[in-house]
Amino acid sequence: MATLQEMLLAPDVLPRVNSDVLALVDNELASKSGVSGTAVKVAFKAVTAFAPGYYQETVAYMVPQMVYQLAPFWADFQVSGSADFGDYLVKRSDEVSAALLEVTDEMAHSSGRATVVKAYKAVRNGAGRHIEAALPNLGVMVQKYA
């Protein structure tokens, strides 16, 4: 049985995964509304406007780290007998969100881009909810490569 890293980070697969993650983020952003949705959209616009190309580079950098964070969940899912990885992730949303936020928190901590860090800090408190909302679609995306 292949590991999540072997499936998603293979040289011939990784570019497609990166594209799928970009599309997932774009779709999740488009679905946001209300005050918290507006805050996320403003932060995203700030990052993409003041640091052209940073978003795509950041996703490409983060995907392997995110896959690493998801790997234990995938391994447990494989032996759980569950059929839908998105549902599995949703049932563990607190743990999964915390694991994925470790990646973004570390990136913000080590970033030298003040605009990016400021935008991240503006939305960080609600980030877990946004990640939780994306988990069903993240699960679908991961299973696409399984």
Taking only the tens place, the pLDDT of each residue in 53-107 is: 888 898 999 999 999 999 999 999 999 989 999 999 999 999 999 999 999 999 8
Q: Is the pLDDT of residue 127 over 90?
A: no
Which positions ≥6 away from 109 have C-beta within 8 Å?
none
Taking only the tens place, the pLDDT of each residue in 11-62 is: 999 999 999 999 999 898 888 778 777 777 877 887 777 767 888 898 999 9
pLDDT of residue 32: 78
How far is residue 66's CA from residue 18's CA, in Å, rounded to a whole number? 11
Give Cα separations from 100 to 68, 85, 91, 97, 115 (angstroms).
9, 16, 15, 5, 22
How far is residue 78's CA from residue 100's CA, in Å, rounded to a whole number? 19
pLDDT of residue 39: 77
Q: Which residue has the higher pLDDT, 81 or 122?
A: 81
Q: Name residue 69's amino acid.
A: Q
Instruction: Supply the angle between the helices 54-80 and 93-110 in degrees, to the nearest 10.
Output: 150
pLDDT of residue 48: 79
Which positions ≥6 away from 33 have C-beta within 8 Å?
none
pLDDT of residue 123: 73
Cβ 23 vs Cβ 69: under 8 Å:
no
- The H helix count followed by the E strand count for the chain is 8, 0
